[in-house]
């Protein structure tokens, strides 16, 4: 599965057609589109990781409860064997969460989503609070640098979680 947000380059050269020579307002609109795309990406991934994390936790809970109940019925040999099998399955399922780091990635996407949303709010307020002729390209560029910083942090932390798994 592709881990890049939609709209990122899929072409063999690795480049999309980019607009050039944009004025400050158009540049701000372009950046807002990039932020919206990044926020949507983080939101989708966040929901996916949360679902997987919850599913693993619930599976462990159900299997642990079932094995405990079955172990309480030790007079029956088949039940005891089943309980010990369930304990083994719980051990395996419990090992999945740290390996895939779904909970950590879910929280990471939650944080990225917040940062993208905050950046979008800052950009929209900046553009809305002044006439078009007062919008400074340098100020929009600073916000783009923040945007890239969010992606850099997200990518490096993502790799760290995956390396530890």
Q: What is the pLDDT of residue 14?
A: 43
Question: How far is Cα 61 from Cα 78, in angstroms, rounded to an integer?
Answer: 22
Question: How far is Cα 163 from Cα 160, in angstroms, rounded to an integer?
Answer: 5
Average pLDDT, 10 consecutive residues per value, the chain (165 residues): 43 57 89 92 88 84 76 68 76 76 88 94 94 93 95 91 71
| Cα 79 versus chain centre, distance | 41
The helix/strand/coil state of 102 is helix
Q: What is the pLDDT of residue 73?
A: 62
Q: What is the pLDDT of residue 1?
A: 41
Question: How far is Cα 67 from Cα 56, in angstroms, rounded to an integer?
Answer: 16
Q: What is the pLDDT of residue 34?
A: 92
Residue with tokens 């078009």: 132
Q: What is the pLDDT of residue 135?
A: 92
Q: What is the 3-class SS of 62-88, one letter each residue?
A: HHHHHHHHHHCCCCCHHHHHHHHHHHH
Q: What is the pLDDT of residue 44?
A: 92
Residue with tokens 């609070």: 129
The helix/strand/coil state of 12 is coil
Q: What is the pLDDT of residue 5?
A: 45
Q: What is the pLDDT of residue 75?
A: 64
Interhelix angle 24-71/77-100, nearest 10 degrees: 160
User: Can you give the pTM of this predicted structure?
Assistant: 0.61
């Amino acid at each position: 599965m592709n881990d890049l947000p939609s709209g990122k380059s899929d072409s063999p050269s690795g480049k999309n057609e980019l607009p050039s020579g944009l004025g400050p307002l158009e540049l701000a609109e372009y950046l807002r589109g990039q932020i919206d795309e990044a926020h949507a990406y983080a939101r989708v991934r966040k929901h996916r990781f949360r679902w997987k994390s919850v599913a693993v936790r619930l599976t462990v809970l159900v299997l642990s409860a079932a094995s405990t109940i079955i172990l309480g019925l030790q007079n029956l040999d088949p039940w005891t064997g089943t309980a010990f099998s369930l304990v083994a399955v719980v051990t395996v399922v419990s090992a999945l969460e740290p390996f895939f780091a779904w909970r950590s990635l879910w929280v990471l996407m939650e944080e990225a989503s917040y940062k993208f949303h905050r950046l979008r709010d800052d950009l929209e307020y900046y553009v809305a609070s002044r006439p078009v002729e007062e919008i400074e390209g340098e100020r929009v560029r600073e916000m783009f640098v923040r945007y890239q910083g969010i992606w850099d942090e997200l990518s490096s932390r993502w790799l760290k979680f995956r390396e530890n798994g």
